[in-house]
Structure 1
Amino acid sequence: MDTTLSSPASPLHDFFLARQPILNRDQRLVAYELLFRNTRQNQAVIEGAAVAATATVIAHAADLGMEQVVGLQLAFINVDEVALMSDFIRFLPHHRVVLEILETVRATPALLARISKLRQEGFRFALDDVVFESADVQQLLPLIDVIKVDIAELTPQDLARLAQVLALSRKKLLAEKVETLAQFEQCLDLGFDFFQGYYFARPVILSGKKMSASELAILHLLELIQTDVDNREIERCIKHNATISLNLLRLVNTPAVGAGARVETLSQALLVLGRRQLRRWLQILLYVKPGVPAQFTSPLLQLATTRGKLLELMTEKLCPGQHQYADIGFTVGIMSLMDALFSIQMSEVVSSVRVNNKVSDALLFRHGELGNMLALVELMEQADGSPATLAMLEQLRLSESDLNTIQLAAYEWVNGYVQSIAPAAH
């Protein structure tokens, strides 16, 4: 897929887009909440800015095409009373979005009538940041599909009580700001249907945990590629692992690779794929679990590949033509979640495969240019529009417009690439 960077057509050069994953009870990715942040105002534009800005953001989201931004998933988009009552709300594709009604919205007769009309047109609604059962919540409940509960604002006891009350509504419950495995497990036990937060990306270190034989085999192959051995040595190593051999042959015969004639042997596969593609596929393969369908709904796979592509595109922007540096950027991004993937310390991940100092400094300490890029991406994931984000952009010599363009190119690549290769990897 072409990821050449071009100037965005939209006037929203000062905004970046944060995609926060929403998972179901099976830990599969079902939606993203889209949050627009202004690095110079430190606010969500849809919440605090003027009507014109809100309209432009929604129109911009529609112009992008939801498939490019969220792939096959739904998009949750914050709306206030002004947005709900406006004509530009219809710029959004009703079948791809859930309109998230902000907690500041009052349930006036006019607003309730408006929501009823939009529901008839096919729009779905969520209530945002519910922490108690107010009169407005009671009036809005019959018209909404999902109730979002901000668990950071509640004690475990209060959360349990609220969940019990809200369950009577028979609406879907979404727990947001779920940052630890313990919080996720509590919300799961309380009957929540959806979960938003980065608990799935937090490493849960298990003492004595060892990588599986297949994981070690992939890491060994990555080492061989790193040391630039010839294809015969790589082929010999692959032949020792039947699963990798079969997956590689499946991969080169997918439309994503576009080999043309059917490839039947490993030596042919290695020639067709090339070292750069082989390295990338092996890195992604680590996040693909054998026998698990619909791998493109794996939140860890999506997040890791998105980080990898974002860092690759940032390095290409800063150092045009330096493909090796771009590959290192991709490696840093995709390796940044391997501690969560393997449930081991990042220092163990780094020592398991030989990486250069730039990679290890970025992964272990967030040092150097690549470390700064990774830290910036982590801030963006948290929808952090603080001055720290702007300062990091300036340090990296990237403009808000650059960031906007890089993000959209990365999202489009990940949505297409992961969906096309994941079925070939198990």
Structure 2
Amino acid sequence: MIDLSVHDRGPQHLRVREFYLGRQPILDRNQALFGYELLFRNAPVGPAQVTDGLTATAAVIAHAAQLGMEKTVGEAQGFVNVDASVIMSDIFPFLPREKVVLEISNGMAATPAVVDRVRALVDHGFSFALDDVTGETEAVQALLPLVEYVKMDMRNIAPSSLSKLAPRFRQEKKKLVAEKVETREEFKHGLDLGFDYFQGYYFSKPVIMSGKKLSPSQLAVMELMTLVTSDADNPQIERAIKRDVSLALNLLRLVNTPAVGARQRIDSLSQAVTILGRRQLQRWLQIMLYAEPSKRGQSMTPLLMLATTRGRLLELLAAKLRPSQRERADIAFTVGIMSLMDTLFGMQMGEILEQIPVGDEVRDALLHRGGFYGDLLKLVECIERIEDMDCHILPTLRDLAMSTEELLELEMAAFEWSDNVVRYAL
């Protein structure tokens, strides 16, 4: 039997404020969102260092227990790193076993006690993954029967070894996860080898196509955005929306999401335009640009999730740093969500900005990462790629006079808001 009771020395009293949080998306073979690996870094320690496994994982669990795992990963699975000290600890009562996959650290000694403990946890409904597998070591052989997932780094293993190991683990009915997938070619190679899931940001890299034309529905949204940001009157905007029935229905569904926070249900386009105001209406049109490909059968959920999270986090950061300048927060949201439009459209950002009128500050942020909004965008991009860029986060926070605890709270709020939006947008 395994003791899952709560002990006094559990992680609920730990100070989580010392940690950065990063989420790395994990996609399935159709490029739909499956899960996130949750990455925690200890801010004061210095570049690219992680605290001992128990402390880092305890911070994950303490925060999940306090705020709810659904705020961090939504409906996706959360992958959390563990080592021997975590596996042998008493922190498992804090973990929602149906929402998490425990990643066994690379190089961990598979002692008989550890193997027995993993087996007991599996019997109690916990799922495990072997992380950064490069060969069939003794530890891999001992733990393989107990794990559900095997993760392999696409850049840390020879192609010949990868070609041999993938079929071997598939024979054992293991789900294969390719890590560090940063290009479309690596994604295609993983597909060919039979990988089930893909972790990395290849989907957010723009694939520039010369002569690329926007779809009719994207053009309709862009034209409407131009009307909204100009001096067009409300009846003119309403008429433009009504010309596209699908656009009108999708807009009404979006503006009734809890993320809008409207006190009453919005049942007409006239209400939507009047109640929301121009800036809010522009926001939902920007979101619709990312949602539209999914409605045509393309899996753009990860890009939609990333764009809405970026937009909301930039908005919350600007509101925190410039509380008396509400317009700053609105502009920051636009910068965040527009920062991925080159990927969305397969066009150079400069070409996009010729079609969408923006101010000089927004243009400088999007093209050069310059100015106040550019600094916020760079910070958020570093958080997204926390494994490689965490050394840049603390200096930026110091420049912005913001604590890691404040940043973590804003991140959690952005994650939850984005998850709500995406559920209604698709």
TM beyond 0.5 = yes
Question: What is aligned with 1:404?
Answer: 408
Which residue of the other structure, out of 115, 120, 126, is the alignment partner of 2:118?
115
Q: Is the Cα contact below 8 Å between 2:27 and 2:197 reproduced in 1?
A: yes
Instruction: Work out the CA distance in 1 between the residues paired with 2:201 and 2:400.
Output: 25
Query: Residues 410, 179 of structure 1: CA spacing in aligned structure 2 closer, same or farther, 3 A cutoff?
Result: same
Which residue of the other structure, out of 199, 202, 205, is the alignment partner of 2:202?
199
Instruction: Work out the CA distance in 1 between the residues paired with 2:224 and 2:150.
Output: 46
Query: Residues 39, 354 of structure 1: CA spacing in aligned structure 2 closer, same or farther, 3 A cutoff?
Result: same
Counterpart amino acid of residue 392 in structure 2: A
Instruction: Work out the CA distance in 1 between the residues paired with 2:58 and 2:350.
Output: 46
Matches within 5 A, 1:287-302: 287-289=290-292, 292=295, 298-302=301-305
Once the two structures are superposed, residues 315-371 of structure 1 have per-residue CA deviations (whole angstroms, 9 ceiling, x without a partner) of 001111322111110001001111111111111111110000111111111111111
**TM superposition shift of 1:152:** 1.1
Counterpart amino acid of residue 33 in structure 2: L
Q: Does 1:330 align with 2:333?
A: yes
Question: What is aligned with 2:33?
Answer: 29
Question: What is aligned with 1:5?
Answer: none
Counterpart amino acid of residue 34 in structure 1: L
Q: Which is worse superposed, 160-169 or 364-373?
A: 160-169
Q: Is the Cα contact below 8 Å between 1:22 and 1:30 reproduced in 2?
A: yes
Query: Residues 75, 117 of structure 1: CA spacing in aligned structure 2 closer, same or farther, 3 A cutoff?
Result: same
Q: Does 1:373 align with 2:401?
A: no
The number of equivalent residue pairs is 412
Question: What is aligned with 2:9?
Answer: none
Instruction: Work out the CA distance in 1 between the residues paired with 2:257 and 2:409.
Output: 28
Instruction: Work out the CA distance in 2 between the residues paired with 1:97 and 1:392.
Output: 31
Question: What is aligned with 1:59?
Answer: 62
Query: Residues 44, 113 of structure 1: CA spacing in aligned structure 2 closer, same or farther, 3 A cutoff?
Result: farther
Q: Gaps spanning 5+ residues in structure 1: where?
A: 1-8
Higher relative contact order, chain-length normalized (CA < 8 Å, sep 6+): 1
Taking structure 2 as the reference length, the TM-score comes to: 0.90
Once the two structures are superposed, residues 18-38 of structure 1 have per-residue CA deviations (whole angstroms, 9 ceiling, x without a partner) of 011111111111111000012
**TM superposition shift of 1:253:** 5.5
Q: Does 1:39 align with 2:43?
A: yes
SS of equivalent residue, structure 1 residue 116: helix
Q: Is the Cα contact below 8 Å between 2:257 and 2:421 reproduced in 1?
A: no
Q: Is the Cα contact below 8 Å between 1:20 and 1:196 reproduced in 2?
A: yes
Once the two structures are superposed, residues 211-259 of structure 1 have per-residue CA deviations (whole angstroms, 9 ceiling, x without a partner) of 1122122122222222243212212322333321232344456666557
Q: Gaps spanning 5+ residues in structure 2: where?
A: 1-12
Q: Is the Cα contact below 8 Å between 2:128 and 2:148 reproduced in 1?
A: yes
Instruction: Work out the CA distance in 2 between the residues paired with 1:44 and 1:60.
Output: 21
Instruction: Work out the CA distance in 2 between the residues paired with 1:15 and 1:309.
Output: 21
Instruction: Work out the CA distance in 2 between the residues paired with 1:74 and 1:44.
Output: 25
Instruction: Work out the CA distance in 2 between the residues paired with 1:58 and 1:254.
Output: 29
SS of equivalent residue, structure 1 residue 87: coil
What percentage of residue pairs aligned between the two structures are identical? Answer: 51
Question: What is aligned with 2:418?
Answer: 414
Q: Does 1:13 align with 2:12?
A: no
Which residue of the other structure, out of 171, 180, 185, is the alignment partner of 1:182?
185
